[in-house]
C-alpha cells in the first residue's frame, strides 16, 4: 500500500515522555470536525532502518473531555529501546479504496522525532544533554512562530544547543481570555475549553513532536489565580456561580489529565549525575498549601535524598516577593518554608526551571547552610498576550534582594543576597498604546539549559535564551538573546 504525506495539521502528535528504553506517544484530534479513524497506527523507525508498528483500533480511542462526544486520542507506548538513540515516529490512518479511482492506502497524518535518555550526563568533550524550557503561550498573534523557532533550533541548530527533551512549565493555553468566559451554558464551557486546546496544540505542534515533552499546568490552564475565584476581572465573574465553576473546573482538569498528562509529582534521573523532579504546584492548591501533604512529601523525600545536583521544574518561581493581588508560592508560607528547607538539606545545588511571570531571567543565591545554591531559570513568555490583555506584561525584576523572605526563613539560616545580572535577562521591546502590544514587553523566547560532566568533578550548566520572532545566520535559526551564555558548575 502507498504512503503519502498530506496537509493534516489539525491532527496532533505529542511525544510525552521518554526514558532510556521507552517512549509514550500521544496521537489524536482535538478539533471537533475530524472523524475517528476505524484503523490507525503509529510506526517507530530506528536508526538501523527497522520499523515497529503499534495498531490503533477504533476501540482504542478515548475521549479527552468527559460529557462530550467530539475529540479523541490514543496513547501508544514503545519499550525495549536503546539509550541515547534517535528515533522517528509517524501517525497514520488507513484510507479505504474509492471504486477504481483510489487504492487503499495509509495517510501519514503527523510525524515526530526524539532521543531516548542517556545513561549518564555526557562529558566535556561530548555533546551536552540539553533541556528546552518555555511557558506562557497565547496563540492569537503567534502564527506558528514559537514552534517554527523551536523546530529550527532542534533540526538545524548547533549540536551543543539542540534540545533533547522539553519542559513546558505552565500556561500552555489561556482558557480565561475573552468574554465568552461569561457563558453559563455547560456545553459551551466544555466546547470552549476543547477549542482553546485544539488551537494551541496546533500552533505548538512543532515543539510537542520534537523530543520528549513534559507539561506542567499553571493557573491559565484553569483560570486566573486558580483555584481561587475572588478576582474582579470582568470575564471571570461567571465563576461566582457554582455550577459554572464546577463545569469549567472539570473540563480544565480533564485536559490537564488527558492532554497534558501531568501527574502531581514525577521524578527521574540521568544516571547518578542529575536528579529531576516535576511538581504540579497548581492543580491541587487550597488555602492550606500548594499540594496535598502526601504529594508534598514526595518532593521532600526526593530533595532530602539527593546524591547529585537536582533539577526542580515548577510552574512558579521561588525567588519572589509577597504578592497582594495574586497568590504565588510564597503565599503558602508553611509549605514554602518546608520546601526550601528540603531543597537545602543535601547540600547539592538546585536548579529551578520555571515560568509564569512574563519575563526571562537567571538568578542565583545561597540555599541554606550546607553549601547549596539555588539557580533559578525563568523562561516566559513563548508568545505574549495581545490588545486589552496585552497589559499583562513585565520587565525582569531585581527583587527580592535577599532570599528567603523573612517570614519563611528557617531559624538557623542567614538571609542570602540574590545575584542578578542584566547580561542574563531576556530583553524587552517597546509597546504602542493602540497596537496589539500596548505595553513594553519581554521578547517572546524559550531557553535551553545544557549539562556536561566536568573532568575535575561537578556538572557544567550552560543556559541560553532564544528569540522566537527573530532569526539569524545562514541556517535561519532563532537569534540568541544573551550576548554570551550563562555558565556555572553544579555540585
Task: Convert 177-212 to b/e letters by CB count within 10 Å (16 or more is b).
Answer: beeebebeebeebbbbbbbbbbbbbbbbbbbbbbbb
Residue 452: Cβ within 10 Å count: 23
Q: What does the pLDDT read at residue 9? A: 81
Sort 359 into a burial class: Cβ within 10 Å, 0-12 / 13-18 / 19+: buried
Q: What does the pLDDT read at residue 6? A: 36
Task: Band the pLDDT of 61: cuts 50, 70, 90.
Answer: very high
**What does 62-107 look like in DSSP terms, one character per residue?**
B-SSTT-SS-EEEEEEE-SPPTT-EEEEEEEEEE--BTTTB--EEE
Which numeric CATH code is attached to 118-490?
3.60.21.10
pLDDT above 50 (res 3): no
Task: Compute the chain's Rg from CA coordinates.
Answer: 22
Q: What does the pLDDT read at residue 231? A: 84
In this chain, the answer to whether the domains covering 1-65+76-115 and 118-490 adopt an identical fold is no
- 8 Å CB contact between 129 and 118: yes
- At 399-455, the pLDDT tens digits run 999 999 999 999 999 999 999 999 999 999 999 998 999 999 999 999 999 999 999
Beta bridge partners of 115: 86
Q: Torsion angle, CA of 301/306/310/315, rounded to 10 degrees? A: 0
Q: Cα(187)–Cα(218) distance, rounded to whole angstroms? A: 24
Cell representation of residue 64: 479527552
Q: Which fold has domain 1-65+76-115?
A: Immunoglobulin-like (2.60.40)
- At 119-154, the pLDDT tens digits run 999 999 999 999 999 999 999 999 999 999 999 999
Q: What does the pLDDT read at residue 154? A: 97
Which residue shows C-alpha cell 527580592? 400
The verdict on whether omega for the bond into residue 400 sits within 30 degrees of 0, i.e. cis, is: yes
Give residue limits of the domains in the chain.
Answer: 1-65+76-115, 118-490
Segment 372-378 shows an average pLDDT of: 98
- In 135-195, DSSP assigns E strands to 165-168
Which residue shows C-alpha cell 542574563? 424
Number of H helices, E strands in the chain: 6, 25
| Of 237-241, 301-305, 459-463, minimum mean pLDDT range | 237-241
Q: Cα(94)–Cα(224) distance, rounded to whole angstroms? A: 42
The verdict on whether omega for the bond into residue 381 sits within 30 degrees of 0, i.e. cis, is: yes
Q: What does the pLDDT read at residue 240? A: 94
Task: Band the pLDDT of 4: cuts 50, 70, 90.
Answer: very low
Residue 286: Cβ within 10 Å count: 11
- 8 Å CB contact between 108 and 6: yes
Q: What does the pLDDT read at residue 160? A: 95
Average pLDDT over the chain, rounded to whole?
A: 95
pLDDT above 80 (res 335): yes
Q: Which residues contact 411 (CB under 8 A, 6 or more apart)?
A: none
Cell representation of residue 314: 515548577
- 8 Å CB contact between 452 and 404: no
- 8 Å CB contact between 383 and 146: yes
Single out the residue of 278, 193, 207 nearest to residue 14, CA to CA: 207
Q: What does the pLDDT read at residue 376? A: 98
Q: What does the pLDDT read at residue 182? A: 84
Task: Band the pLDDT of 188: cuts 50, 70, 90.
Answer: very high
Q: What does the pLDDT read at residue 180? A: 79
Output the pTM of the full model. 0.96
Q: What does the pLDDT read at residue 2? A: 39
pLDDT above 70 (res 368): yes
Task: Band the pLDDT of 97: cuts 50, 70, 90.
Answer: confident
Q: Cα(397)–Cα(353) distance, rounded to whole angstroms? A: 17
Q: Torsion angle, CA of 241/247/253/254, rounded to 10 degrees? A: -170
Q: What does the pLDDT read at residue 103? A: 77
Amino acid at each position: 500500500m502507498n504512503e503519502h504525506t498530506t496537509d493534516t495539521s489539525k491532527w496532533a502528535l505529542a511525544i510525552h515522555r521518554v526514558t532510556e528504553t521507552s517512549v509514550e506517544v500521544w496521537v489524536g484530534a482535538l478539533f471537533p470536525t475530524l472523524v475517528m479513524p476505524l484503523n490507525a497506527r503509529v510506526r517507530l523507525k530506528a536508526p538501523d532502518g527497522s520499523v515497529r508498528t503499534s495498531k490503533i483500533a477504533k476501540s482504542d480511542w478515548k475521549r479527552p473531555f468527559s460529557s462530550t462526544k467530539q475529540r479523541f486520542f490514543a496513547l501508544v507506548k514503545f519499550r525495549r529501546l536503546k539509550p541515547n538513540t534517535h528515533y522517528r515516529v509517524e501517525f497514520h490512518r488507513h484510507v479505504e479504496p474509492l471504486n477504481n479511482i483510489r487504492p487503499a492506502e495509509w495517510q501519514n497524518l503527523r510525524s515526530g522525532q526524539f532521543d531516548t535518555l542517556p545513561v549518564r550526563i555526557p562529558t566535556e568533550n561530548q555533546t551536552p544533554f540539553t533541556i528546552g524550557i518555555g511557558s506562557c503561550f497565547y496563540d492569537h498573534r503567534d502564527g506558528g512562530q514559537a514552534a517554527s523557532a523551536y523546530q529550527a533550533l532542534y533540526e538545524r541548530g548547533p549540536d551543543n544547543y539542540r534540545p533533547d527533551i522539553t519542559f513546558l512549565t505552565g500556561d500552555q493555553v489561556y482558557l480565561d481570555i475573552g468574554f465568552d468566559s461569561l457563558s453559563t451554558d455547560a456545553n459551551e464551557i466544555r466546547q470552549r475549553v476543547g477549542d482553546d486546546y485544539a488551537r494551541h496544540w496546533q500552533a505548538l505542534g512543532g515543539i510537542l513532536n520534537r523530543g520528549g515533552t513534559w507539561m506542567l499546568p499553571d493557573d491559565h490552564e484553569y483560570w486566573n489565580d486558580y483555584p481561587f475565584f475572588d478576582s474582579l476581572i470582568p470575564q471571570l465573574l461567571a465563576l461566582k456561580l457554582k455550577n459554572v465553576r464546577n463545569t469549567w473546573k472539570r473540563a480544565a482538569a480533564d485536559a490537564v489529565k488527558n492532554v497534558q498528562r501531568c501527574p502531581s509529582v514525577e521524578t527521574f534521573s540521568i544516571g547518578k549525575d542529575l536528579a529531576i523532579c516535576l511538581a504540579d504546584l497548581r492543580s491541587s492548591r487550597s488555602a492550606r498549601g500548594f499540594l496535598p501533604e502526601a504529594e508534598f512529601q514526595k518532593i521532600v523525600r526526593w530533595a532530602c535524598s539527593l546524591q547529585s545536583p537536582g533539577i526542580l521544574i515548577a510552574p512558579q518561581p521561588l525567588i519572589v516577593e509577597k504578592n497582594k493581588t495574586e497568590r504565588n508560592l510564597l503565599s503558602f508560607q508553611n509549605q514554602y518554608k518546608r520546601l526550601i528547607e528540603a531543597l537545602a538539606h543535601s547540600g547539592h545545588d538546585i536548579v529551578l526551571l520555571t515560568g509564569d511571570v512574563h519575563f526571562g531571567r537567571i538568578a542565583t543565591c545561597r540555599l541554606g547552610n550546607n553549601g547549596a545554591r539555588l539557580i533559578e531559570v525563568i523562561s516566559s513568555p513563548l508568545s505574549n498576550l495581545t490588545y486589552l490583555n496585552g497589559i499583562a506584561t513585565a520587565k525582569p525584576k531585581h527583587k527580592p534582594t535577599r532570599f528567603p523572605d523573612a517570614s519563611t526563613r528557617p531559624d538557623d539560616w542567614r538571609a542570602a543576597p540574590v545575584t542578578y545580572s542584566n547580561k542574563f535577562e531576556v530583553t524587552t521591546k517597546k509597546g504602542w498604546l493602540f497596537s496589539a502590544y500596548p505595553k513594553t514587553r519581554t521578547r517572546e523566547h524559550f531557553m535551553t539549559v545544557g549539562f556536561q560532566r566536568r573532568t575535575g568533578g561537578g556538572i557544567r550548566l550552560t543556559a541560553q535564551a532564544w528569540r522566537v520572532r527573530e532569526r539569524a545566520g545562514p541556517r535561519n535559526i532563532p537569534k540568541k538573546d544573551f550576548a554570551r551564555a550563562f555558565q556555572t558548575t553544579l555540585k
